[in-house]
Amino acid sequence: MFRLYKYNFKAICLVIFSVFTALSVHADRVARILYYGASKTAPKSSFVYTGKGDSFSLEKPQEVSLERHNFSESFDLARGAISLGFLPEKLSEDELFPALAPSVSIPKGWKKVLILVFEDLSNPIMPIRLKAIDASEDVFGPGELLFINYSEASIFGLVGDKKLLLKPQTTVLVSDPVKKKGSYKVKLDSVQETIETRQWLLRQSWRHEPDVRRVVFVFPLPAPRVAKLYTTPIRGF
């Protein structure tokens, strides 16, 4: 009887250890999150659970801030291909992770991840939806600008020394808009379908910092305007 108990105890411990190892966080794999344009009633934080596919571990959820204007502080991610599930409150030990909770998949090879939050009033668990972006240094590195277009207009013009053509619902990465650290001109217009719809969009001076990533969002606006730009720097990531 003692031997059988001892064997079962070791087996259980091995299973628990294997699950914990598979979902253990890795200090070199991190994410940051942004909820730009959130309403006053939108959630300001979330408990993030880690899982594989549709199954989530209830162990050690991380509470993260859903920042409004800049990406949050980094939080650690587990190794491998994982899913992140978001809940407004921490689950008790006897609760199951709700199947309809908002979630996002993170592929195995992504070392640094940006997560964008959007409103989704149709979700009964938490009124958000999520989009993940690979910000690993070999994909989106220091000194580069990632343009993300959520509008139905094409954006074109000059970003420093580089030409930009950003089509609707696409992304474009701009590397080193100027060769040296300092200011540069940004001249952008928008167009919808035909050149006759061309509109002035932006005339500004931006500063190039070789050690800083920047994300540039293009959001739609009601007519007669077409779109607006919002840019946020990412430091120490």
Structure tokens given for 142: 């220091």
The DSSP string of 89-157 is SPPPTTPPPPTTS-EEEE-TT-SEEEEEEEE-TT-SS-SEEEEEEE--TTTS-TTEEEEEE-SSSEEEE
**Mean pLDDT value across residues 143-169:** 96
**Mean pLDDT value across residues 131-157:** 95
Q: What is the DSSP letter of 42?
A: S
Q: Phi first, then psi: what are they for 222, rounded to 5°?
A: -65, 150
* pLDDT tier at 154, thresholds 50, 70, 90: very high
Instruction: Please give the pLDDT value at position 5.
Output: 36
Torsion angle of C-alpha atoms 72, 74, 75, 77, degrees rounded to 10 = 120
Give Cα 149 distance to the centre of its chain. Answer: 14
Instruction: Please give the pLDDT value at position 6.
Output: 40
* pLDDT tier at 9, thresholds 50, 70, 90: very low
Instruction: Please give the pLDDT value at position 26.
Output: 52
Whether the Cβ atoms of residue 168 and residue 147 lie closer than 8 Å to each other: no
Residue 19 has pLDDT above 50, yes or no: no
**Mean pLDDT value across residues 49-56:** 94
**Mean pLDDT value across residues 130-138:** 95
Question: For strand 154-159 and strand 112-119, is the pairing parallel, antiparallel, or unpaired?
Answer: unpaired
The more confident residue out of 196 and 32 is: 32
For 180, counting Cβ atoms within 10 Å of its Cβ (0-12 exposed, 13-18 middle, 19+ buried), the class is: exposed
Instruction: Please give the pLDDT value at position 180.
Output: 83
